[in-house]
Structure 1
Amino acid sequence: MKKEDKFRLVIVTGMSGGGKTQACRYMEDLGYFVVDNLPAVFIPKFVELCKHAGGHVGKVVLVVDTRSREFFDTFIHTLDDMDRDDVPYEMLFMDASDPVIIRRYKETRRRHPMAPSSRISDGIAKERERLAPARAKATYIIDTSELKKVELRDKIHRLFGTNEGEQMSINVLSFGFKFGMPLDADLVLDVRFLPNPFYIESMRHKSGAVPEVAEYIAKWPVTQEFLKHLDGMLDFLVPQYVKEGKSQLVIAVGCTGGMHRSVFTAKHIYDRLAAKGYPVKIEHRDLMKNDVREHVREEC
């Protein structure tokens, strides 16, 4: 299917223990709506409902496998009907070698769906035979026997990614150390070494985003040197995170109370990243925990 199509349907099937669950997690990260273990007979009706959802469901993954038992027998017939009616879809078949599947089941201590009370190898043989027609129809086949998780993710991104809605999002967060560090931060910057406007009466109750306060913090040589190194670090790090496939980056900037120096630095980071075209948001977590009766509306 062409990437410009508004609705994209991917059917995921394959061997139990072949990596379907992990693949679907990566596809969810790409913005796909995932429906697991859907009986094949319901696929045409579900697709019809999605197409009439007013564009709210644009990318769908349907997982159909042997867990559906007797319903699975209709799978190939359903695909044949969809082919005849020119219903566009792609099919991803997840596979792995028998020894790898056996090892994975041994590690998880789960029962194989095709051999609930017999040997895992017997279930694998039955499932391969039953899945052979579906494998023959597959658009893509991924063998995860030797794949690391990051390699599987990269394959999924190459096959099913687009340029829309999956660029790494960046959240810049200012905070005060006296209120505790944010638990979800990827990078934490401590800017308590910068000159503190708190000790100047006229600036004490104004945030670091107010021009007067920002100019005071920025005028010092230590601040200018710090920002120069900070910009260089961001220019290097952010593209590396994008290349690695990270979906979200949280940059936390802390000072004592989360009102002056952290707010100033967070805004500097936000402005620089926004100017470079990154999807970035800013939040001042602890600003309202301070005495900010004046100039509350002047920040960012």
Structure 2
Amino acid sequence: MSASSAPAHPPVFDLIGHTPLMPLRFAAEGLTVWAKAEFLNPSGSIKDRLARCLIEDAEARGLLRPDSIILECSSGNTGISLAMVGAAKGYQVHIAMSDTASIERRHLMHQLGAEVHLFKATKGYATGINLTLELAAREPRYFLPRQFENPINARDHEEGTAVEILEQTGGRVDAFVAGYGTGGTLVGCGRGLRRQCPNVRVFAMEPAEAAMLSGECPCCHLIEGIAGGYVPPLLVGANLDGIVKIASGEAVSMARRLSREFGLLVGTSSGGNVAAALRLARELGPDARVVTVLCDRAERYYSTPLFDH
């Protein structure tokens, strides 16, 4: 199917968003945190929202032609989501991805028809971003969604994800915490929630081993998809109330706990987010409503330490 013959609104788009917000009651701690089940999006992650909005915006602005090739740097989830959207819309998709990302992500992109360009991430995300710029300079058919700097990324969460959270909580949110890859979820949800809850506190979760927002040097960590040695432009100057540093081991342990105590097969970034939310709930008190997101499914982590037993 070509882009010229693809439906303007593919059926799979109706499955994106409007995910449930679940109370997670931690009996041992006597605390509850609220988690938005973004792993229920059709390709398995929160990035389906991003892929849909960036491509629909590009089409509306006439930036995509039937022969265009969508090219983006991704640690995996955005690549999978763009591959899904590209398949549904009839566009070719090429993804630049670090050779250290889990092999399962590569397989999922290939299954959806995308082509993967692997690179050695000597400078984190910046290496892949520079690669996409070089490739686009040589091939005019390439279209760059620019997820790390495109304001549509944050705006979609502001007008979509945050509105859903407010509807699902009856308009009461005391704190929101999430990790950052592009910064779109954190910045967009923060803005959207503050519109109705001006006193809501917004926190960034980042790996303790790569706490760049805390002014520390990046290092290796096990929370795939976040803090890739690069502070994204969308996050520069963001209105944050604080940072919660979560060690890789804590994120992995919480992801396993979510599977074994709650039946939720989610990845390490979800584990990091919930660990951060639980820490904030402990600090803010048992009556505080702390919200976070479960970013993706565990199946794309089979080859990672998450499944080391």
TM-score, scaled to structure 1: 0.22
- Structure number with greater Rg is 1
More helix per residue: 1
TM-score, scaled to structure 2: 0.22
